[in-house]
C-alpha cells in the first residue's frame, strides 16, 4: 500500500513528528544541515537529498475512486533523507550529537513502518516505510561536498513508497455494465492457410508456378522471394482451388534465381513458408499448365516453358502413383519450339488415359528430364 501526500514537504514533516514524539529535542526541523556542527544546543535536521521514481509504477493505469470515477495515476517516489544531529558540551566534545543520532537510529529501527494517519504524525494516508541505508566514505563526500559544510553525525534513510497526486483533472467514469453483465460470443476459430505442394518444384524465371494450398475465402496475396504479388495478379480458376503465379508479371520482377520461400495469405493470416527453386535460363522447364484441366475432346495439348527445343517426348503418369507399369505413358510430340511442345489430339486419344490428375515431365535429352507439372485429364 502506498502512502499518499499533498506535497513532498509533508513527508519530511512526518519524520519530524515521529522524532519529536520519541526524542525530547524541541529543535527538530525539516531543513538543511546547520552550518556549525559544534553548536552547544541540541538539534536534529531532516534534509531531503534526492528522490527517485518507483520503477514498478512507471506505467500505472488510471485508478478508480470509491465513487467509480477515474483519476490519473499519481507520481510514485522514493525519497532519501539525511538526518543530522547536534549538541556539544562545554568541553567541546559532541557527545550529545552522537547520543541523539543513536536515538534517531533506534526510533526508525523500532518503528520502520508508519501507518497513516495516526495520532503522532500530521499528514498523509497509507503506509510509509523508512529504511536505514548503507553509508560509504564515497557517499559521504558526495553528500557533504555540495553543502560545503564540515562533517557532522548523520545517517541516510530511504523513505518510500510516496505518492503525489496528478495535477490533471479526473477522467470520465467508466461506462456502467448492462444488467446481466457482459455476454461473450462464441470464439471464432481461424484456420491458417497451408501450402500442400508447389509445382514445378524448380520453376524458371518468368515461368508459371502452381500452388496447391488450403485456405478460407480467397487468397489476398502471395509472396515469392520477398516479392508481394497481389490478388489482382493471381489466377485462381475455381474457389479454393490451385493458385497460379506468373513470374513474368511486373510485380514479380524482383524475383531472382536461387532457393526462395513462397507464402500464401488469406485475409489477415499467412501460411508457413514453402521452399521453391527459381532457375535461370537456359535451364529447360515446363510451366504449370493453365488451364489446369485438359479435355480429351478439346483438341491438341499445348504446354509452355523455356529451353524446350530439344524435347524428345513427354512422359505422363497418375499423380497418386501408377498401379502398373503400363500407366507410365510416353507421348510423342507433333510440334516442338523453344517455348512450347504440342501433343496431338489423336495421340492423346490413343494413349488410353483415364480421367484423373497426372504428372507430366519433358525428356529434353538422354536421361535428362524437366521437373514434373500437374495436369488433370477429363473425357
**What is the rounded average pLDDT of the residues 30-56?**
90
Residue 67: pLDDT band by 50, 70, 90 thresholds? low
**What is the rounded average pLDDT of the residues 120-129?**
91
CA pair distance 87, 154, nearest whole angstrom: 13
The pLDDT assigned to 172 comes to: 67
CA 119 to each of CA 20, 106, 108, 124: distance values in angstroms, whole numbers, following the listed order: 13, 20, 17, 12
**What is the rounded average pLDDT of the residues 362-372?**
94
What are the beta bridge partners of residue 163? 4, 76
The pLDDT assigned to 71 comes to: 77
Residues 6 or more apart in contact with residue 119 via CB below 8 angstroms: none
Question: 15-24, 122-131, 167-176: lowest mean pLDDT where?
Answer: 167-176
The pLDDT assigned to 360 comes to: 96
Domains and CATH numbers, the chain: 3-164 (3.30.2000), 194-279 (2.60.40.10), 285-378 (2.60.40.10)
Question: 54-58, 162-166, 197-201, 374-378: lowest mean pLDDT where?
Answer: 54-58
Instruction: Evaluate if residue 90 carries a pLDDT over 80.
Output: no
The pLDDT assigned to 176 comes to: 66
CA pair distance 107, 208, nearest whole angstrom: 85
Instruction: Evaluate if residue 345 carries a pLDDT over 80.
Output: yes
Query: What percent of the chain has pLDDT above 90?
Result: 63
CA pair distance 366, 323, nearest whole angstrom: 26
Q: Which residue has the higher pLDDT, 47 or 150?
A: 47
3-state secondary structure of 370: coil
DSSP string computed for 272-319: PPEEEEEE-TT--EEPPPSSSEEEGGG--EEEEEES-TT--EEEEEET
CA pair distance 126, 292, nearest whole angstrom: 76
Q: Nearest CA to 12 among 41, 49, 39, 40?
A: 49
The most confident of 35-39, 118-122, 319-323, 361-365, by mean pLDDT: 361-365
**What is the rounded average pLDDT of the residues 331-348?**
95
CA pair distance 258, 248, nearest whole angstrom: 16
Phi, psi of 21 (to 5 degrees): -75, -30
Q: Nearest CA to 128 among 159, 82, 173, 104?
A: 159
Residue 174: pLDDT band by 50, 70, 90 thresholds? low
Residue 40: pLDDT band by 50, 70, 90 thresholds? confident
Question: Does the model's pTM come out above 0.85?
Answer: no
Instruction: Evaluate if residue 173 carries a pLDDT over 80.
Output: no
Amino acid at each position: 500500500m502506498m502512502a499518499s501526500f499533498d506535497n513532498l514537504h509533508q513527508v519530511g514533516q512526518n519524520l519530524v513528528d515521529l522524532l519529536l514524539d520519541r526524542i525530547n529535542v524541541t529543535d527538530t526541523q525539516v531543513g538543511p544541515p546547520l552550518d556549525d556542527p559544534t553548536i552547544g544546543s541540541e538539534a536534529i535536521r531532516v534534509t531531503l537529498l534526492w528522490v527517485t521514481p518507483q520503477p514498478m509504477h512507471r506505467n500505472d493505469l488510471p485508478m478508480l475512486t470509491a465513487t467509480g470515477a477515474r483519476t490519473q495515476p499519481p507520481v510514485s517516489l522514493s525519497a532519501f533523507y539525511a538526518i543530522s544531529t547536534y549538541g556539544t558540551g562545554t568541553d567541546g566534545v559532541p557527545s550529545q550529537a552522537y547520543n541523539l543520532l543513536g536515538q534517531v537510529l533506534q526510533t526508525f529501527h523500532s518503528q520502520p513502518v508508519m501507518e497513516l494517519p495516526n495520532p503522532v504524525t500530521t499528514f498523509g494516508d497509507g503506509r510509509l516505510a523508512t529504511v536505514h541505508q548503507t553509508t560509504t566514505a564515497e557517499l559521504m563526500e558526495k553528500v557533504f561536498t555540495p553543502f560545503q559544510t564540515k562533517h557532522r553525525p548523520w545517517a541516510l534513510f530511504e523513505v518510500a513508497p510516496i505518492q503525489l497526486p496528478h495535477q490533471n483533472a479526473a477522467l470520465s467514469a467508466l461506462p456502467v455494465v448492462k444488467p446481466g453483465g457482459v455476454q461473450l460470443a462464441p470464439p471464432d476459430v481461424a484456420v491458417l492457410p497451408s501450402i500442400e505442394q508447389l509445382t514445378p518444384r524448380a520453376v524458371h524465371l518468368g515461368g508459371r508456378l502452381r500452388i496447391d494450398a488450403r485456405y478460407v475465402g480467397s487468397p489476398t496475396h502471395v509472396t515469392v522471394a520477398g516479392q508481394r504479388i497481389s490478388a489482382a495478379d493471381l489466377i485462381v480458376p475455381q474457389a479454393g482451388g490451385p493458385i497460379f503465379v506468373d513470374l513474368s508479371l511486373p510485380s514479380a520482377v524482383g524475383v531472382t534465381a536461387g532457393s526462395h520461400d513462397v507464402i500464401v495469405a488469406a485475409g489477415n493470416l499467412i501460411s508457413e513458408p514453402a521452399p521453391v527453386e527459381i532457375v535461370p535460363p537456359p535451364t529447360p522447364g515446363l510451366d504449370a499448365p493453365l488451364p489446369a484441366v485438359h479435355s480429351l475432346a478439346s483438341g491438341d495439348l499445348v504446354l509452355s516453358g523455356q529451353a524446350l527445343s530439344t524435347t524428345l517426348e513427354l512422359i505422363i503418369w497418375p499423380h497418386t502413383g501408377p498401379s502398373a507399369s503400363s500407366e507410365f505413358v510416353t507421348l510423342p510430340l507433333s510440334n516442338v519450339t523453344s517455348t512450347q511442345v504440342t501433343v496431338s489430339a489423336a495421340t492423346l486419344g490413343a494413349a488410353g488415359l483415364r480421367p484423373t490428375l497426372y504428372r507430366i515431365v519433358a525428356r529434353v535429352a538422354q536421361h535428362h528430364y524437366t521437373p514434373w507439372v500437374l495436369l488433370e485429364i477429363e473425357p
